[in-house]
Structure formats: C-alpha cells, structure tokens
Structure 1
Amino acid sequence: MLFISATNTNAGKTTCARLLAKYCNACGVKTILLKPIETGVNDAINHSSDAHLFLQDNRLLDRSLTLKDVSFYRYAKASAPSSPNKKKIQTTPLIRII
C-alpha cells in the first residue's frame, strides 16, 4: 500500500497517484486507487472529483467497481481537519479506514 499526502490543495497528489498507478499497472503490478474520505463533493452535479477520476482509472482493471468501492466517506461540506471554525460534523470512524 502506498499513501500519498501533501500539505495543500492543488499540490499534485491526485495527478501523482494516477501517474504512479498507471506506471505500476503497465509494469504488471495491479494497482487500485482509493480516496477513502472526500469532502466538498456533490455527486449529483460533479463527476470530476478525485474519486470519480480514480474510479475511471480503476475500471480499466475491474469494470464492476463503483464509487462506493473507491471513496468510502463522502461529504458535501468542504472542510479540512485543521479548520479553525469547525461546526459539529459527522465524524468518520478512522479505525475502519486503517
């Protein structure tokens, strides 16, 4: 398992992950991309979120995959863990992800 992280939005995490997975798959290492938690998404109108892009790539390996297979917790409210003005939001059970 590889975990790609960076400290800011638009740092290139999604692009890096997609290119790395493409390379691994080309080398014969079956690689599936996941976006376990995604915020600021509206699946009714936005089909270009990171998870949607990952799903598109993953379906080259397994056509049966769905968005729920790629992104387990999805929230419409855009938020970051360090937001100073947090309101009560639904918590995500981290232990289930790990």
Structure 2
Amino acid sequence: MERKDSARVTAVYVMTIWDKARMPTRLQKHVINKIVGLFNEWQKLEKNKENKAQRSEGLKEKENNWQKNLDKLFDIAHADALNTIRILENKEFLLLQRKEGRPVSP
C-alpha cells in the first residue's frame, strides 16, 4: 500500500472515532497531510539515527520536537472546535485530550 493510501485509511478511521465523539474535525486532506508529514520527518530522522554518538544538539532537538508532534498526531479537531462545540462536557473532553499525559475522562 502506498504511503498516501495508508495515511488515508488511517485518517478515515480516526475521523470516524472523532465523529462518534461529536467532535468537529479538520478536512480529511489536512489530516492526511499531517500523517504523511510526520512520517516523512521520521524517515529523515531515521537516516541520522545510525550516527547516534555523533548526533548534534540540533538533531537531538529535532527528535524531541518530533516526539512532541507525535503526541499531537491524532488531535484533528477543527481549528474553531472549542467555539463550535455547544456541549460543555465535549469541550472539557477536548481540553483534556490536549493536555500532556492525555487523561481519558474528566
């Protein structure tokens, strides 16, 4: 399966879950681009992984940033989600999902 096809399948699956939770999401093409972009970054970092002993501080920082972005990978909420969600419980759930450590319930 091609990279973009895999990203599309993943996006549809994740968007279905967000839809069941009644959370407004980004457009599918943006979710796919987010997945593909993170995968491309990972590939670049993997090329440099062989030289672990000689990694620069910049590369270590890029790896740390990539890890932080990975934690946010499936936050596909619409940019205006907090303003469009009318049910307080759903707003609280979204805010909790965005916290570090991602608690699963309010």
TM > 0.5 fold call:
no
TM-score calculated relative to the size of structure 1: 0.30
TM-score normalised by length of structure 2:
0.29
Q: Give the structure with the higher percent strand.
A: 1
